[in-house]
Structure 1
């Protein structure tokens, strides 16, 4: 006899229902465990949210630079004959950096000196000629004065003779006329002599001007020749050397650059989003890794480069021992004074200008996860834009492994 067994459909349904119930229970347990988990108090540290007036500073980076820089150029055409020092060497004003040579310039100096010597000799000869001409004039004046004395003597004799009745009136008149004519002649010669002396003075002045021009030309050429010994001009260090030994250079060509190493400024790169909030003379605190130096902003450029704006700061205090041109520095630059600012002490893991999930301790001694928007970081104080209230405490210790839970129960 053949027996057929019908499938037990009810049994399959029971198995399926049981599996569903078990799965639902496990899911509920998992959700419950993620929603609330215990954490020991000994693993936690907290930072309290505060509210106070706060000076807002922004972080910036940059380097020291020479406050005084001098570009050295070729004083004349020449060839580099000698290089005495290399970049990085300390220099004073009179330190010779390199030597240029120019034989043609030396010839020009000698020729100008020869011309000057010739003009000086001609000047002395001219002075003797002028003196001789003046003596000639003075001789003629002396002759006229002698004629006047003779005429006056003759007049006096004729007057005496006329009194005695010996001389005639015509002779007396002739004597008076002679005195008058010689007197006019003397006045005329004296005027001519005065004009002649004045003319000689102008001629001498003209000669002196020519000699002064030649002396200036000689001094200029000698200075150019002396400048072929290229000197630093300021105290500091040689920063750049743009030529090589034996190289020919032209007038005005760049040779080297010298910068001060005691008088420095700070070149700071400000964040673009805060540069327009920073004023000239804003206080700056510079960190040189060996101490802090106070300064103030003196100049802000308008060009944005790679998200930053270049600014310069003048130092208000003495430099630290490691300060030198091109030394990398960090700085805190004053942005503004904010009243009633909400902030907390900066702790690892919290990023300025970000929105992050943090745990807040509530009155039930539970840690509740919340989204918080942070603002700028100023002197280790992190501004809070939204998500936290004054007096609340956030977990400052690292519990990033618990971010999957919305609530944590604190246990002793």
Structure 2
């Protein structure tokens, strides 16, 4: 039996291999980005890299706050009888925010006043008693002085009689002794009287001290009663009210808070990665949507919260018309002055502190993808730390559709 063998055709095998190889090479060529694409110049916009000195500012956000705040607390036990002002209302120091009532405090004031009046009356009566006692002392002294005059008269008579030989020497000695005794008695009474006057002065001082203490008690209670009319104390606006009508309150309990309107400060949240570069007294530019206000940093906290650090700034210029406590603001805080730095105008899509791939225009009118590292954003200036040189142009228009191409040619 004859078996016919089919002749092999190697060219077909090599044709398949060659086609597959070409297909893979094209795919690799496309994937590797060696393929090119053309784009009209009219569809592109560019930013030129600039080199120069630049003030670096950190972006911050925050709000205005009252430079002066006053917490209003209950001066005594009481109940909220009347609310006269609601939060947001402009107030002056004498504006009554609310009225508290406490009948027992009223009774205490009246009782203290009555006791004070009683002590005043007792003091007056005591002064009359002291005057009467002084008169009694003076009367006794006058009696002794009269006895001395009488004794001196008898002594004189006895001397004359003795000279005439009528009186005896014993009578003369008795008269002298009487004068001496009465004189000693007078001296003793006068010394007692001086001590008595000093004692009366101390007694009166004690009563005055008691009256002064009672007067202070009356004043304290009257002040407490007057403080039941809770007043703002400063000019500004009522920021919060912590009680309701009819509510009972304890001594020292928080009632409301008042803050100044014209004297404001700024509370800012600084980026954590720039906070340690910012100095006290650093310039702050505050945007209130109605103008830019200058301020300066006065305090920076050390605690980091949610990626930011709290700081305070004092305002150095007149406020805009919309400035008020709790108004949200944005701000630029001066960090440092940088010499000979590369930067471009901010372009949407270019992120600060990131590394991105962008199209750069070369001298052959071709766009070439390049890795560029961006630094800080200061105002509308985006710092370039690597990947670009001064004078080079990068595409600022949307090139997302060309991102798969390594190069893109520009057509006129």
Q: Same fold per TM (> 0.5)?
A: yes
1:286, distance to aligned residue in structure 2 (A):
0.9
TM-score when normalising by structure 2? 0.89
Partner Cα distance (2:249, 2:348) in 1: 58
- Structure 1 pair 6/75, CA: closer, same or farther in 2 (3 Å)? same
Distance 1:29 1:200, change over 3 A: closer
SS in 2 for 1:191: helix
Q: What is residue 65 of structure 1 aligned with on the other side?
A: 65
Deviation at 1:23, TM superposition (A): 4.1
Distance in 2 separating the partners of 1:409 and 1:59: 38
CA positional deviation for 1:233: 1.5
2:146 is matched with 146
Runs (5+) with no aligned partner, structure 2 = none
Deviates more, 1:95-104 or 1:335-344: 335-344
Per-residue deviation, residues 369-412 of structure 1 (Å, max 9, x unmatched):
21001111112221222112233332333334333332333444
- Per the TM alignment, residue 341 of structure 1 is displaced from its structure 2 partner at its CA by 2.8
Tell me what 2:337 maps to: 337
CA contact (8 A) 2:33 2:407 kept: no
Distance 1:215 1:31 in 2: 98
- Residue matched to 1:80: 80
Tell me, yes or no, if the aligned pair for 1:358 and 1:371 is still in contact at 8 Å. yes
- How far did 1:201 drift? 0.8
Task: Provide the residue aligned with 2:127 in structure 1.
Answer: 127
C-alpha distance 32-283 of structure 1, shift in aligned 2 (>3 A): closer
Query: Residues of 2 paired with 1:78 and 1:31: CA distance?
Result: 82
* Aligned pairs for 1:152-191 within 5 A: 152-160=152-160, 168-191=168-191
Q: CA deviation at 1:15?
A: 6.0
Three-state SS of the structure 1 residue aligned to 2:277 is coil
Distance (Å, rounded) in 2 between the aligned partners of 1:205 and 1:7: 146
Residue 275 of structure 1 corresponds to 275
TM-score, scaled relative to structure 1: 0.89
Query: Partners in 1 of 2:208 and 2:33 — Cα distance?
Result: 109
CA distance in 1, matches of 2:27, 2:219: 101
1:320-335, aligned counterparts within 5 Å?
320-335=320-335
- Structure 1 410/199 Cα, relative in aligned 2: closer, same or farther at 3 Å? same
Residue 100 (structure 2) aligns with:
100
State the match for 1:361 in structure 2. Answer: 361
Question: How big is the shift at 1:276?
Answer: 2.3
Distance 2:309 2:245 in 1: 39
Paired residue for 2:305? 305
2 CA distance for matches of 1:113 and 1:32?
A: 100
Instruction: Tell me by how many angstroms 1:168 deviates.
Output: 4.8
Q: Within 2, Cα distance between the matches of 1:35 and 1:179? A: 147
Alignment of 1:398-409 (within 5 A): 398-409=398-409
Q: Are 2:29 and 2:35, in contact at CA under 8 Å, matched by a contact in 1?
A: no
| Shift of residue 356, structure 1, vs aligned partner | 1.0
State the alpha-carbon separation in 1 of the partners of residues 22 and 375 from structure 2: 47
Q: What residue ranges of structure 1 are gaps of 5+ in the alignment?
A: none
- Residues 1:255 and 2:255 are matched in the alignment: yes
Instruction: Say if 1:34 and 1:404, in contact at 8 Å, map to a contact too.
Output: no
Cα distance in 1, alignment partners of residues 123 and 30 from structure 2: 116
- 1:184 aligned counterpart, secondary structure: helix
SS of 1:347's equivalent? Answer: coil
Contact 2:88 2:238 in 1 (8 A): yes
Residues 288 and 329 of structure 2 are in contact (CA less than 8 Å); yes or no, is this contact kept in structure 1? Answer: yes
1:48 match:
48
- Give secondary structure in 2 for the equivalent of 1:363: coil
Distance of 1:382 and 1:48 partners within structure 2: 12
Check whether the contact 2:287–2:330 (CA below 8 A) recurs between aligned residues: yes
CA displacement 1:245-271 (0-9 Å, x = unmatched):
111111122211111122111111111
Match for residue 215 of structure 2? Answer: 215
| RMSD across aligned positions (CA) | 2.8
Distance 1:35 1:12 in 2: 30
Change (3 A) 1:218 1:275: same
